Amino acid sequence: MTITLFGIRNCDTMKKARAWLDAHDVAYVFHDYKTAGIDDARLRDWIGRVGWEPLLNRAGTTFRKLPESDRVDLDADKAVALMLAQPSMIKRPVLDTGETLLVGFKPERYEAAGLGNA
């Protein structure tokens, strides 16, 4: 099972998630979607698994700086277009275990997903 951690390298929450995974000897591959991007198919797969609302980081500066017209009447297609254009609008981290997709970092959720029991 390959675990992939998606996010942006310098994000504070990402640093906490990576530190937790490292401290619990969880092997993972890191995908920086700020530099490597994210593709439409993967984003739509995530939306199919957890919905678009948990993935869109509405609290971030990038989203808040959007024109009002881009922030209203959101649906899955509009959210995908925004997140593909500016991946920093994707909430971080996204951890894909293959079976489970976790959005955001909470140690108890990582433990509940069976991570860190090595």
Question: Helix 40-50 to helix 76-85 angle, to the nearest 10 degrees?
Answer: 130
- CB-CB contact of 91 with 13 (8 Å): no
11 is catalytic: yes
Q: Which of 5, 6, 7, 11 is catalytic?
A: 11
Residue type, 12: D
CA separation for the pair 84, 17 (Å, rounded): 23
Given phi > 0 = left and psi -120 to 50 = alpha, else beta, which region is 53? alpha
Q: 67 preceded by cis ω (within 30°)?
A: no
- CB-CB contact of 22 with 106 (8 Å): no
List the catalytic residues.
11
